[in-house]
Amino acid sequence: MPEPQATRVFWVGYRMDRSLVVVADDGGADAARDRGILECLDAGIVRNASVLANGPDAEALAAELGRRPGVSVLLHLNLTEGMALAGPAST
C-alpha cells in the first residue's frame, strides 16, 4: 500500500500551508481557569489566550499576561454573561 502524501492547498496560484491555532479560552472567568491558562502558556502548550473583558478576574489575568512576552492576547466578545462594561444607552 502506498504511503499517504502530504496535502497541499492552492488558492489562486499560491500555496497555503495548513495550520492549527489553539487558544486558551475564557480567561478572566475565574481564578482556577486562569491558573490553568497560565500553566499552559508557561509550558509552551499554547501561545494564545482570550480574555473576557467583563470577567471577574480579567484585570488580574491581564497583569499576568503582560509579564509574558510573545503571548497573543485576544478579546473574547461576551454578549450574554456578566456585567456590562458600559452603562445603558441613553435615548
Let me know if 25 is a catalytic residue.
yes
Element of type H or E holding 64: helix 58-66
Among 17, 25, 30, 57, the one annotated catalytic:
25
The beta strands (E) that lie in 1-91 are given as 9-11, 14-16, 23-27, 48-52, 72-76
Which residue reads 500551508 in cell numbers?
17
Residues serving a catalytic function are 25
